[in-house]
Amino acid sequence: MIILNRVIYLEDDVNSRAFPGEITVLRSLSHRSYHGHCRLLLERRGTAILRQVNDAFCDDGYGRELLSSELYVNNWSNVDLTEGEVLHERAGPSIPSTVGGIYHMDCVHALRYNCPNILSKWAARPRHWPPPEVVQRVVALGAVLTPVGFKGSEYQHVEWRVCFNAGEMELISNLNDTQTKLYVLLKMIKNDVLHPRKKEVSSYTLKNIVLWMAENNSQASFHKKSILQWLHEALNALRVALITLELPYYMIPERNLMATSGLDVEQQRTWISTITDMLHEGPRVILRLPKIRQCIVAHPEPFRWYSGRRIELELLMLMRMNRSVICSDENLEVHDTDAILQASERRINEVITDVCVRMIMEGSRVINAQAILERIMM
């Protein structure tokens, strides 16, 4: 991302007098755009304005000048290339290129955005995470505007999107180990199970789900033994987002990340059905992931352990059944005082307890001992 320091965009109530004369100052018209987007009205043309900026202004129909996002990207696309550099088809606000057939770059020319109101509103939210010092660092990193409008808007060619790239990198770097692994698992599910064709569900979508979960829940609840529980929660959140086509942007909740997903009805129905099946599978859902499945094959100890407990339970249940017949009277009443019967009952309870503890440690949801017995004996 390339940010011009000689152009700055200000919120409505930010005074422009503090900036030197060579700085070009643009003012907000966000109230006429979709949440998280804005139009840039020229307030003051700087003395050191670049041609790519100056040539991107257009008339708004009322004698005022707007900075066009479309013209801005086109102007930067027409700059002289370095030797051996080849430009590729534009991808949103990005200008992809390859140098020497080896080095691939995605350049986004952005503008600095001075938006204390948006950031202070985000910082003031009640939260479990991130801690106050991280919140202050995110606020200090500020925001930028990228040259891309809201898809479908009649003003798309002059709209810009508010982004917090540096702040979001700071947030991601402060996720704990379990939250980071959760994000990785979700991306694996996206790539290996959902297979989106045109970023209808993107890594950015999943990142926002993880950030919301981190903010709204105690950090102590995110530990290595609970990762499968949180994966279940995250998949359910994704399922709800697909059903409602709503997912608030973490930094600006009024912006709906699903509003421009481009998800067609058939794909929506398929993904909802797939995720519903995954939720019913419980911890076994990770077997859908090729890399995880390969690791399990390479490290089969957990499966040997569960298989051993199941075999032992089957033998104990058979022993108890046979002993109950021997210890029954003429009315088929079982005498519970039999030592062998009591010993088998104790061992059955010990095995079920061991399985319950291990399942909890691995992040599974354990309902009760009877449910565990029924599941393991299926």
Question: How much is the pTM?
Answer: 0.76
What's the pLDDT band for 378 if we cut at 50, 70, 90? Answer: low
Quick one: CA dihedral 152, 154, 158, 159, positive or negative?
negative
* Residue-level pLDDT at 219: 96
Query: 288 pLDDT exceeds 80?
Result: yes
pLDDT band of residue 366 (cuts 50, 70, 90) is low
Report the number of secondary-structure helices (H) and strands (E) in the chain. Answer: 13, 10
* Tens digits of residue pLDDT in 298-309: 666 776 787 788
Closest CA relative to residue 181, chosen from 31, 5, 363: 363
**Residue 313's pLDDT is what?**
86
Rounded CA separation 341/324 (Å): 7
Provide the pLDDT for residue 51. 93
How is residue 27 written in tokens?
Answer: 């003012």
User: DSSP character for 1?
Assistant: -
pLDDT in tens, 168-208: 999 999 999 999 999 999 999 999 999 998 889 999 999 99
Cis peptide before 130 (omega within 30 of 0): yes
The larger pLDDT score, comparing residue 333 to residue 66, is at: 66
Alpha-carbon torsion angle 242, 30, 163, 68, nearest 10: 110
d(CA 196, CA 274): 13
pLDDT recorded at residue 139: 97
Percentage of the residues of the chain whose pLDDT score is greater than 70: 93
Structure letter (DSSP) for residue 192: I
Structure tokens at 162: 């508010």
pLDDT at 365 over 70: no
Distance CA 232, CA 230 (A): 5
At 322, is the pLDDT very low, low, confident or very high (cuts 50, 70, 90)? Answer: confident
Sequence letter at residue 182: L
Average pLDDT of the chain, as a whole number: 88
Asked whether the beta carbons of 229 and 221 are under 8 A apart, the reply is: no
Residue 298: per-residue pLDDT: 63
- CA 145, CA 40: separation in Å to the nearest integer? 10
- Residue closest to 100 by CA, chosen among 78, 81, 113: 81
Instruction: State how far the alpha carbon of 358 is from the alpha carbons of 225, 229, 289, 298, 355, in Å.
Output: 9, 14, 22, 20, 5
Model confidence at 58: pLDDT above 60? yes
